Amino acid sequence: MVSVPAKQLGTLIRLQKVEIELRKHQAALEQVDRRVVALDASLNEFITAIETKQILVKDLQQQYRAWESEVQDNGLRIQKSEAKLRSVKTNKEYQSGLKEIEDLKAKGASIEDDMIQCLEEIEGAEIELHKLKTAYDDQRQQLNEQKNTILEEADQTRGTLERLEAERDELSRHLSQDLLQMFDRVKSQHPNGLAIVEVEGAVCKGCHMNIPPQMFNELQREDSLKMCPSCERIIYWQRTEKRSE
């Protein structure tokens, strides 16, 4: 049993509340970079989609130009074959020449069909590309607004942290070194950082277990420090908190 004035105990309770607020705001600040990265990643998805579509349009345009060149070459071959046909001397050579010209014309028609289809694909891809760019511009504006909001909130959080840190330091100066060390030691033993908890109706609100009647009676005197037998947290009677406010 350690003798502790009620005022010190009240200060300790306030210190814990400040530290809980500090952890909450520190956690929020740590999330800022992740939130900004997530926004950038969302925007990068649009950039990747646009680049992929641009590559598709470029490939289709190259294919179209290649077919254009092939159609021109095929037309020249037809002209040569027609010129050659006029100088043939046998029926067999004439029929062979006609067959060659027909094959070349069929090939040219097939390429032209492919070109028409390619033009349709280029047109469709360019429409999709335009839609992606428009969506990207809209998304970029929205995400930049969200990012600015996040950064503004982060600045406010930093200001709150500075205030809370100053309050924590001020509260710590009003506590004895022994009490602070005990508080830190108990706090380190609990994942949620709760080192001091209220007792209400003889029940510890940290572990929800009953404390012995004699200890509860002593606790209400508010003249000594008590530890919960179950969770080993520092415990206080609720009136202590009301006096500290």
Provide φ and ψ at 226, rounded to 5°: -125, 150
| In a shared domain, residues 79 and 120 | yes
236 dihedral zone (left: phi>0; alpha: psi -120 to 50; beta): beta
The per-residue pLDDT for range 17-31, each reduced to its tens digit, is: 999 999 999 999 989
Q: Which helix (H) or strand (E) holds 200?
A: strand 196-200
Contact 1, 154 (CB under 8 A): no
Other C-beta atoms closer than 10 Å to the C-beta of 196 total 24
| In a shared domain, residues 191 and 164 | no
Strand-strand pairing, 224-227 and 234-237: antiparallel
Looking at residue 4, what is its pLDDT?
58
Looking at residue 219, what is its pLDDT?
87
Mean pLDDT of 157-170: 95
| In a shared domain, residues 168 and 199 | no
pLDDT band at 239 (very low <50, low <70, confident <90, very high): low
Position 45 in a domain? yes
Position 97 in a domain? yes
CA-to-CA separations, 142 to 131, 135, 148, 193, in angstroms, rounded: 17, 10, 10, 38
Looking at residue 74, what is its pLDDT?
93
Provide φ and ψ at 42, rounded to 5°: -65, -40
Looking at residue 1, what is its pLDDT?
46
Between CA 97 and CA 84 the distance in angstroms is 8
| In a shared domain, residues 167 and 182 | no
| In a shared domain, residues 56 and 107 | yes
Nearest to 104 by CA among 135, 126, 71: 71
The domain tally of the chain equals: 2
Position 3 in a domain? no
Residues above pLDDT 90, as percent of the chain: 71
| In a shared domain, residues 93 and 68 | yes
146: domain range? Answer: 19-173
Mean pLDDT of 75-96: 90
Looking at residue 85, what is its pLDDT?
87
| In a shared domain, residues 91 and 70 | yes
> What pTM did the predictor assign?
0.61
- Note every long-range contact of 75-81, with CB atoms under 8 Å and residues 24 or more positions apart, other chains counting: 75/108, 77/104, 78/104, 78/105, 78/108
Between CA 134 and CA 49 the distance in angstroms is 12
pLDDT band at 240 (very low <50, low <70, confident <90, very high): very low
| In a shared domain, residues 57 and 111 | yes
Contact 147, 12 (CB under 8 A): no
